[in-house]
Amino acid sequence: MTKSNEVLRTPDRGRGVIARYREYLPVSESTPIISLGEGGTPLIFSSRLSAIVGRGCEVYLKYEGLNPTCSFKDRGMTLAVSKAVECGTVAVICASTGNTSASAAAYAARAGIRCAVVLPAGKIASGKLLQAFAYGAKVVAIDGNFDDALLVVRALGRRDDFAIVNSINPDRISGQKTAAFEIVDDLGDAPDFHLLPLGNAGNITAYWAGYREYRDAGNCTSLPAMLGFQAAGAAPMFHGRVVENPETIASAIRIGNPASWEAAQRAVQDSRGAVDIVTDNEILEAQRWLATHEGIFVEPASAAPIAGLFNCCEPVRGPVYPFTQIREGSRIVCTVTGHGLKDPEVMVDRATKLTAVAPNEQEVLRAIGF
Binding stretches for ligand PLP (CB under 6 A): 71, 73, 99, 167, 197-203, 252-253, 299, 301-302, 337-338
CA distance 128 to 58: 32
Question: Which residue from 204, 216, 173, 203 is spatially nearest to 80, judged by alpha carbons?
Answer: 173
Those residues whose C-beta lies under 8 Å from the C-beta of residue 222, and which sit 6 or more positions away, are 189, 190, 192, 215
Q: Are 59 and 183 in contact (CB under 8 A)?
A: no
Min. distance of Cβ 166 from ligand PLP in angstroms? Answer: 9
Question: Which residue from 32, 30, 36 is spatially nearest to 13, judged by alpha carbons?
Answer: 36
Phi first, then psi: what are they for 235, rounded to 5°?
-125, 60
Min. distance of Cβ 178 from ligand PLP in angstroms? Answer: 14
Q: Toward ligand PLP, which CB reaches closer, 20 or 172?
A: 172
Min. distance of Cβ 208 from ligand PLP in angstroms? Answer: 12
Min. distance of Cβ 202 from ligand PLP in angstroms? Answer: 4
Question: Which residue from 175, 182, 181 is spatially nearest to 203, judged by alpha carbons?
Answer: 175
Q: Toward ligand PLP, which CB reaches closer, 53 or 253?
A: 253
Q: Is 118 helix (H, G, I), strand (E, B) or coil?
A: strand
Beta strands in 199-292 (DSSP E): 225-231, 274-278
Q: Toward ligand PLP, which CB reaches closer, 46 or 103?
A: 103
Helix (H) or strand (E) run with residue 44 in it: strand 43-46
User: In the complex, which residue's CB is closest to ligand PLP?
Assistant: 338
Q: 63 has which bridge partners? A: 336
Q: Are 140 and 125 in contact (CB under 8 A)?
A: no
Min. distance of Cβ 222 from ligand PLP in angstroms? Answer: 23
Q: Toward ligand PLP, which CB reaches closer, 133 or 261?
A: 261
Q: Toward ligand PLP, which CB reaches closer, 57 or 306?
A: 306
Q: Toward ligand PLP, which CB reaches closer, 175 or 197?
A: 197
Those residues whose C-beta lies under 8 Å from the C-beta of residue 1, and which sit 6 or more positions away, are 187, 188
Min. distance of Cβ 188 from ligand PLP in angstroms? Answer: 26
Min. distance of Cβ 142 from ligand PLP in angstroms? Answer: 18
CB-facing half-sphere around the CA of 143: CA atoms within 13 A: 0
Q: Toward ligand PLP, which CB reaches closer, 40 or 202?
A: 202
Which burial class, exposed, middle or buried, applies to 366 when counting CB atoms under 10 A from its CB (0-12, 13-18, 19+)? Answer: exposed
- The DSSP-derived string for 164-216 is E-STTSHHHHHHHTHHHHHHHHHHSS--SEEEEE-SSSHHHHHHHHHHHHHHH
Q: Is 285 helix (H, G, I), strand (E, B) or coil?
A: helix
Min. distance of Cβ 304 from ligand PLP in angstroms? Answer: 8
Min. distance of Cβ 70 from ligand PLP in angstroms? Answer: 9
Q: Toward ligand PLP, which CB reaches closer, 57 or 132?
A: 132
Q: Toward ligand PLP, which CB reaches closer, 57 or 207?
A: 207
β pairing state of 58-63 and 91-95? unpaired
